[in-house]
Amino acid sequence: MAEQLVAIQRNYFGDIISFQTSTGRVISYRKAIQEAEEGMIDGVTINEGHDGSSYLTPGMISSFDEYPIF
């Protein structure tokens, strides 16, 4: 069974820098993208930005702003 992202951590500028998973692991934003690509994390969509970089969006709600901060 795949994990889900349940909380976020932001930097000083308000950018998401890491996530907490449903099992309590804390992983970086890049690691979350990698694990989502590998099917280890459910409930997110991987999108490609105009600059070609990948970014995550939550599947069931409108944005990660609704996630609690840890």
Evaluate whether residue 70 is within a structural domain: no
This prediction's pTM: 0.91
Residue 60 has pLDDT above 90, yes or no: no
Evaluate whether residue 66 is within a structural domain: no
Q: Do 9 and 19 contact (CB within 8 A), yes or no?
A: yes
Cα–Cα distance measured from residue 23 to residue 26, given in angstroms and rounded to the nearest whole number:
9
Confidence band of 1 (pLDDT split at 50, 70, 90): confident
Residues 6 or more apart whose Cβ sits within 8 Å of residue 66: 58
Domain containing 23: what range? 3-61
Domain total of the chain: 1
Query: If we measure between CA atoms, which residue out of 25, 21, 23 comes closest to residue 56?
Result: 21
pLDDT of residue 32: 98
Evaluate whether residue 17 is within a structural domain: yes
Evaluate whether residue 68 is within a structural domain: no
Confidence band of 3 (pLDDT split at 50, 70, 90): very high
